Amino acid sequence: MELYVERGFEQTTVAEIAQRAGLTARTFFRYFADKREVLFAGSASLQDSLVSALEGAPESASPMQAISAALDAAAAMLGERHDFSRQRQSVIAANAELRERELIKMASLSAALADGLRRRGVTDPDAGLAAEAGVAVLRVAFERWVTATGDRDLLQVMRESLDQLKALTADR
Cβ atoms of 132 and 115 closer than 8 Å: no
Band (pLDDT 50/70/90 cuts) for residue 172 is low
The pLDDT of residue 151: 75
pLDDT at residue 60 tops 70: yes
Structural domains of the chain, with CATH: 1-39 (1.10.10.60), 42-170 (1.10.357.10)
Instruction: Give the rounded percent of residues in the chain with a pLDDT score beyond 90.
Output: 90
Q: If you average pLDDT over every residue of the chain, what do you get?
A: 94
Higher pLDDT, 170 or 113: 113
Number of H helices, E strands in the chain: 10, 0
Contact between 112 and 51 (Cβ < 8 Å)? yes
What pLDDT score was predicted for residue 125? 97
Residue 30 Cα to chain centre, angstroms: 24
Beta-carbon contacts of residue 27 (< 8 Å; ≥ 6 apart): 18
In whole angstroms, what is the distance from residue 10 CA to residue 12 CA?
6
Q: Report whether pLDDT(51) > 90.
A: yes
pLDDT tens digits for range 77-136: 999 889 999 999 999 999 999 999 999 999 999 999 999 999 999 999 999 999 999 999
Range list of H helices, 41-153: 43-56, 63-78, 82-93, 96-119, 126-147
Report the percentage of the chain scoring pLDDT > 70. Answer: 99
pLDDT value at position 152?
84
